[in-house]
Amino acid sequence: MSAISSPPRTIRIGSRSSQLALVQTHWVQAQLQKAYPDRTFEVHTMATQGDKILDVALAKIGDKGLFTKELEVGMLQQEIDFAVHSLKDLPTNLPDSLVLGVVTERENPADAVIFHEKYHDFQIDALPPGAVVGTSSLRRLAQLRHHFPHLTFKDIRGNLITRLAKLDSGEFDAIILAVAGLQRLGMRSRIGQILTPEISLHAVGQGALGIECRGDDLEVLALLKVIEHAPTRDRTLAERAFLRELEGGCQVPIGVNSVIEGENLTLTGIVASVDGQKVVNGRVTGLVAEPEKVGIELAQLLRQQGAKEILDTIFEAVQRG
């Protein structure tokens, strides 16, 4: 009598409960289901601290796992098997026993300007003095203040849909969002302007999804390889090494841009004071095969130019509240 084989293990996917997070997670689920039709992939949602606290600026809450901690606890307690994150939200130092399993192909990582209808034909440099621009990101704030000191910047919280509603109600004249999130939600038409790297270097990991899982779960790690995108992985490993080496978190004014050409990877980075007055930037090219080395080298270069002093001042200000 032949032995009856047990069915394949059901894989439980963790996700934040926001609309954008679920679109991203369901995309991952669909890709895995297509690759492994005999498997079952279930989505489990959780609300993170960053989803619950909506009346305080992100920089004042702190960024240690703001949008990831609850999902990480779920993995450590075996409630879920892996979590889908916007890679820009995933801290560069992960809890013991958890790893960045794979990185998916990146959408456009740039920042976008969405204008109130009364400015629908404008570009950001043509907005009148005092026009109110909403952003929750110190990185965007610092760079835009540097280039457009005539504008007024105001913190904006909530998910993407909530922010667009605040814009449309007239609370803001323009808001800054990631191109990738708008594209994933089918809202490409809302974009009034895509900011070039010369104006706004994007966040580390922006536009890519990072899949976090238990490091000893070899079955899940093997399954995930089917959605890995090597060029995006290498670019974002360089970016994350740069951020980690500067000891910066998600909510600091650090921006990047990365390009792969042949065997070379070029990483551009910026560190700016929140008022936009002090800016240090630089660029390093190295081998694609050694992405983290490129990131570390760029961090060391900017540190020599005064990046640490800028970041220390910001941290002190945030701690003072």
| 201 within a domain of the structure (yes/no) | no
Tokens at residue 81, please? 């098997």
Do 215 and 80 reside in the same domain of the chain? Answer: yes
**Residue 102 DSSP SS3:** strand
- The two beta strands, 254-261 and 264-272, are antiparallel
In this structure, what are the phi and psi dihedrals at residue 268, rounded to the nearest 5 degrees? -110, 140
Sign of the Cα pseudo-torsion (192, 140, 163, 161, in order):
positive
- The two beta strands, 111-115 and 41-46, are unpaired
Do 28 and 144 reside in the same domain of the chain? Answer: no
- State the residue for tokens 């907005």: 127
DSSP string covering 254-318: EEEEEEEETTEEEEEEEEE-TTS--EEEEEEEEETT-HHHHHHHHHHHHHHTTHHHHHHHHHHHH
Do 36 and 125 reside in the same domain of the chain? Answer: no
CATH code where residue 66 lies: 3.40.190.10
Do 5 and 27 reside in the same domain of the chain? Answer: yes
Indicate the residue among 150, 171, 194 that finishes a domain: 194
Do 12 and 53 reside in the same domain of the chain? Answer: yes
Overall domain count for the chain = 3
CA distances 303 to 7, 92, 200, 276, Å, are 54, 18, 20, 18
Do 98 and 127 reside in the same domain of the chain? Answer: no
Angle formed at CA 143 by CA 251 and CA 110, multiple of 5 degrees: 80
The Cβ of residue 281 has, within 10 Å, a number of other Cβ atoms equal to 16
Which amino acid makes up residue 25?
Answer: T
Do 149 and 218 reside in the same domain of the chain? Answer: no
Q: 81, 89, 173, 217: which one is catalytic?
A: 89
Model pLDDT, residue 1: 44
The Cβ of residue 31 has, within 10 Å, a number of other Cβ atoms equal to 15
CA atoms within 13 A of residue 278's CA, in its CB half-sphere: 14
Residues linked to residue 303 through DSSP beta bridges, in sequence order: none
| 45 within a domain of the structure (yes/no) | yes
H/E segment holding residue 112? strand 111-115
Do 115 and 35 reside in the same domain of the chain? Answer: no
> pLDDT 10s per residue in the chain (321 long)?
445 667 889 999 999 998 999 999 999 999 999 999 999 999 999 876 544 444 434 443 345 456 688 899 999 999 999 999 999 989 999 999 999 999 999 999 999 999 999 999 999 999 999 999 999 899 999 999 999 999 999 999 888 889 999 999 999 999 999 999 999 999 999 999 999 999 999 999 999 999 999 999 999 999 999 999 999 999 999 999 999 999 765 567 999 999 999 999 999 999 999 899 999 999 999 999 999 999 999 999 999 999 999 988 887 776 665
CATH code where residue 291 lies: 3.30.160.40
Q: Which domain holds residue 219?
A: 1-104+207-228
Tokens at residue 171, please? 């609370």
Tokens at residue 247, please? 């000891």
**Residue 101 DSSP SS3:** strand
| 275 within a domain of the structure (yes/no) | yes
The Cβ of residue 192 has, within 10 Å, a number of other Cβ atoms equal to 17
Residue 121 appears among annotated catalytic residues = no
Cα separation, 80 vs 71, whole angstroms: 8
Cα separation, 270 vs 299, whole angstroms: 10
Do 302 and 285 reside in the same domain of the chain? Answer: yes
Do 70 and 134 reside in the same domain of the chain? Answer: no
Cα separation, 95 vs 91, whole angstroms: 10
| Alpha-helical runs (H) found in the chain | 19-35, 49-52, 58-61, 69-76, 138-147, 160-168, 179-184, 218-224, 230-245, 291-304, 307-320
Do 271 and 316 reside in the same domain of the chain? Answer: yes
Model pLDDT, residue 317: 73
pTM of the model: 0.89
